[in-house]
Structure 1
Amino acid sequence: MGMDLDLDSNDLQCGNENPVDCEEDVDHGNEIGNRDTFECNDNIDKGPEIGMEFDSLQSAYSFYKNYAKNIGFAVATKASRRSKISRQFIDVKYACTRHGSKRESNAVNPRPCLKMDCKATLHIKRKQDGKWFVQNLIKDHNHELFPADSHFFPYHRRINSAKRHDISTLDDVGVKAIRSYVAVAKQHGGYENIGCLEKDFRNQLDKECRLALESGDANAMLEFFVHMQEENPNFFYALDLDEEHHLKNIFWVDAKGREDYREFGDVVSLDTTYITNKYKMPFTPFIGVNNHHQATLLGCALLANESTSTFTWLMKTWVRAMGGKLPSAIITDQDKAIKAAIKLVFPNSRHHYCLWHILRKIPEKLDYVLRKNEDFMGIFKKCIHKSWTKDQFEERWQAMVEKFDLIEDEWIQSLYEDREHWVPTYMKDTFFAGMSTTQRSESINSFLDKYVCRKTTLKEFLEKYEVALQDRQEAENLADFTTWHKTPALRTPSPFEKQMSMVYTHGVFKKFQIEVLGIFGCHLVKEKEDEKILTFKVLEIEKNEGFIVEWDASMEEISCICRSFEYNGFLCRHSLSTLHFLGLFNIPSRYIVKRWTKDVRTKYKKGSTCEEVQSKKQRRDILFQRAIELIEEGSMSHESYNIAHQALGDALKHCSSVNHSLKLSDEAAFGANEYHDL
């Protein structure tokens, strides 16, 4: 598996601050300097002259390099000398790359050799004041020069940081090597002005599409995957390799994540902004929400880049791991590459941008607005969160853009163009399990925060990842235990609160309970009535804000303009106030979302057979849950304690006997096979 480090091995620092006053030693074959910038840029076409001075070795080197490119030859460092005391370069000889004699070769297919004993050289020395001067010079060459073809010399070909950025940008929008090379050539006025060839672009693209791993990381990753599959055969992983079998992208999901997806895969968040390790590779987790409203990990990836092709591979691989089931809604950051990949892989899923990510970008994108207008954030949030209809949003957005002179702002324009992907009023018919809000608690960015940081190495990350999974499992086990064995305290006489305390998990019930408490701060007025629909206006007294609620008695359907049920999966205070006013004291079953109930997993826990429980970890987890139940019931009375204690003792003896028999059977089978082999 390949390993690429983004280092420039020829990028040498050349000291020039101290005078040289002692013995010298000789370094042969070192290439001194290779940067494109230079200080002395006069008379390049004329070339160097005896006695010409330069402020630094870098200036001299850059001058001669550019002169060579203009004339039509390439430069190599023939020899250099350092001071034995300061270890700084004090004497350098540059030569034409065709210097020296042609070597004889006995190879079947010898490599071409262009050596022609060319004498063209530049000999520079350092002065006491730190400056450099030309001591000797030979300009004449014994071969033809090719100024028009200088860009073909390997010496003159280099992809600097600016070109790397151009290549990466073009690759992000799907432009491949040959097309990106042509595009950059047009920008620079011709191929000869680029400074590299098409194959250099292709090599750079290949390099950009690989993971930058350190020695041992790939093996550590594979060992981790093998270990996880030994723990549970349902652990899934996939490696994306390039044509040279270098590692590009990695995806994995543990068995619990795959199981969770069966019940909680309706809404998924893909976070591409979470960078967790020192290599700056994007760690990309798929996050869901379980029935306790806890974040649950539905898959992980390490990606070499953030291009459309990479995200397409990731999403297709994830769907394959999840048995082909697609999510109803997916939440991501605002990103063109992700948007294109989702349109391709999840064409029927509702794509939503995370509001938290958008709001986080405002200080960066609109700093010039915030510095001048303290009221901007209040107006922006009111436009987003308090616009209950599309027309209301459009009106407020236009007023905001005009007030703060944002008509020409590109980011604001992009937000408006993508409004159907993030503005709540445009998403009112889609369930998002409460994940589309700006609340950071249990959000995608806090899932692994206490386990990793930016300097965490890949090996450390894998170790902490497993710890994080164990902690999350323990948190879920505790939530299960609390839900099944403790009754939540009721805070009102509301029949709605009592009804749902027996249905919802504690985590969701606490959120619903807030809505029940809010009923007492609402004032309801009937607006109108027709043959089917009753329309009410519910005023939240504290907020002094009115909400329209409609009730269809024939269908037993209720809807509020705030769309809380559609977003969160439980009724809002406005709808509850209306039901109470109408004399209905039980929430209709259609408004009790199964995924928030305490028994959502029952069919898996109680329906598991011995054949389905394949791994030791699965068996241990299931027995642990049953043991907790036994301990709870067995400790309630002295009689139940005696029963539980006796049952545990009998079970322990029986299990030990069975395991001992299985061990003897395995040893006998092994001995028979060994005899047969002999």
Structure 2
Amino acid sequence: MWSTQPLGEVNDIDNDDDENETEPTNAFTQYDRCSIIGKKFNSSDDAYTFYNEYGLFKGFGIRRHYYNKHTATNEIYRQVFVCNKQGYKNAKRMKNDGKPRCIKRTGCKATLQVTLSTLGTWVVDKFLDDHNHPLDDPSRAPQQWSHKVFHRTKECRDLVTLLSKTGVRPSEITKIVNVYKGDQDDKLTRVQCSSIINGERKTNLGKECHGIIMHFQPKAATDKDCYFAMDLNADGTFRSVFWADGRSRSSFNQFGDVVVFDVTYKTNKFSLPFAPFVGVNHHNQTILFGGALLENETESTFTWLFEHFLKSCFGTSSTITYSSIVIVLEDG
């Protein structure tokens, strides 16, 4: 029997899910409160999908409200889904700028609760279907947040990720994707686009070092004078990297009388300062002595960089020292 007292830890979610929903059918006409109570699902996500399709058919949107966990095992055993007009807006979070705000929440009590059974299935043990607000017309229901599913599809995520990797900004990605899709009722928003990009970066966090090593490893195999070094955080994530191939190191030995060091460039994706060491050869052509991607422009980062730059000079340039480089930087 359902109890209003939580048996474990309660976690407030109060946001939209990221699972894909399917189109509703008029099969929901057969459902009433008695037929939904006791309905079983293989997962809580299946229960969410069912309730969202039910809401689309009826004319309201939904969201995840909270879940309960067993304190001993930390296992989720209960999920509660509510109408998106449940509760009231927190007055402290509303901007006090004198502009009228649209009140979207009405304290609606419509709820679907599922609990994990001993058989491993999720069972509906609470269902309230009384709304204190008018339901949307079926033609307008797809505009509810939980029914806008394009940004959750693999097609959209892959396209956003691809454009982001090429250096396109989120605002431009949003425009490109919406033109490509052509659906005026379910557009990708700037917030959704940024969420997809941030999620992809979190997924790839810590993998940058592997990518860098895989890039330089074959170069080191074919170029015995190739030099590269990486600076890592305590957790093994990337901070800075310096590299100089054999040709660059040889060029420095011949034309290293004057070295220009500049950190005014930044990469598009992570905004890491790009620091090239360049000079001029006997044809007045610009040549590269080495390059680096830096975490920041602090003294400790520059110290690490110059130490490795000097190591890459074959130890033949006795006139260039770390202290002289520091003096040049301090003087402007």
TM-score range, shorter chain: 0.5 to 0.7
Alpha-carbon separation, structure 2, partners of 1:618 and 1:457 = 23
Supply the AA of the counterpart residue of 1:125. T
Structure-2 change in CA distance of 1:72 and 1:318 (3 Å): farther
Partner of 1:145: 136
Partner of 2:174: 181
Q: Does 1:83 align with 2:47?
A: no
Structure-2 change in CA distance of 1:188 and 1:46 (3 Å): farther
Given that 1:32 and 1:77 are in contact with CA atoms closer than 8 Å, whether structure 2 keeps it comes out as: yes
Structure-2 change in CA distance of 1:473 and 1:200 (3 Å): same
CA-based RMSD: 5.7
Q: 1:468 aligns with which of 308, 312, 322?
A: 308
Q: 2:51 aligns with which of 64, 80, 93?
A: 64
Given that 2:10 and 2:66 are in contact with CA atoms closer than 8 Å, whether structure 1 keeps it comes out as: yes
Q: How far apart are 1:124 and its partner, in Å?
A: 1.1
Partner of 1:128: 118
TM-score calculated relative to the size of structure 1: 0.31
Higher relative contact order (CA 8 A, sep 6+): 2
Structure-2 change in CA distance of 1:25 and 1:70 (3 Å): same
Q: Does 1:477 align with 2:317?
A: yes
Q: Does 1:618 align with 2:314?
A: no
Partner of 1:166: 159
1:596-617 superposed Cα distances (whole Å, 9 cap, x missing partner): xxxxxxxxx9xxxxxxxxx993
Given that 2:55 and 2:61 are in contact with CA atoms closer than 8 Å, whether structure 1 keeps it comes out as: yes
Given that 1:283 and 1:302 are in contact with CA atoms closer than 8 Å, whether structure 2 keeps it comes out as: no
Partner of 1:510: none
- Structure with max Cα Rg: 1
Q: How far apart are 1:327 and its partner, in Å?
A: 7.1
For 1:580-619, what aligned pairs fall within 5 Å after superposition? Answer: 617-618=323-324
Supply the AA of the counterpart residue of 1:167. V
Structure-2 change in CA distance of 1:294 and 1:463 (3 Å): same
Alpha-carbon separation, structure 2, partners of 1:186 and 1:274 = 43
Alpha-carbon separation, structure 1, partners of 2:105 and 2:295 = 47
Alpha-carbon separation, structure 1, partners of 2:83 and 2:308 = 60
Alpha-carbon separation, structure 1, partners of 2:37 and 2:326 = 84
Alpha-carbon separation, structure 2, partners of 1:127 and 1:37 = 25
Structure-2 change in CA distance of 1:69 and 1:282 (3 Å): farther
Alpha-carbon separation, structure 2, partners of 1:116 and 1:45 = 27
More helix by share: 1
Partner of 1:36: 19
Structure-2 change in CA distance of 1:118 and 1:58 (3 Å): same
Alpha-carbon separation, structure 2, partners of 1:116 and 1:96 = 10
1:73-109 superposed Cα distances (whole Å, 9 cap, x missing partner): 3323344333343332222221112123577789563
Given that 1:74 and 1:96 are in contact with CA atoms closer than 8 Å, whether structure 2 keeps it comes out as: yes
Q: 2:7 aligns with which of 7, 14, 24?
A: 24
Count residues in correspondence.
275
Q: How far apart are 1:29 and its partner, in Å?
A: 2.6
Alpha-carbon separation, structure 2, partners of 1:304 and 1:161 = 24
Structure-2 change in CA distance of 1:152 and 1:119 (3 Å): closer
Q: 1:290 aligns with which of 222, 226, 251?
A: 251
Partner of 1:395: none
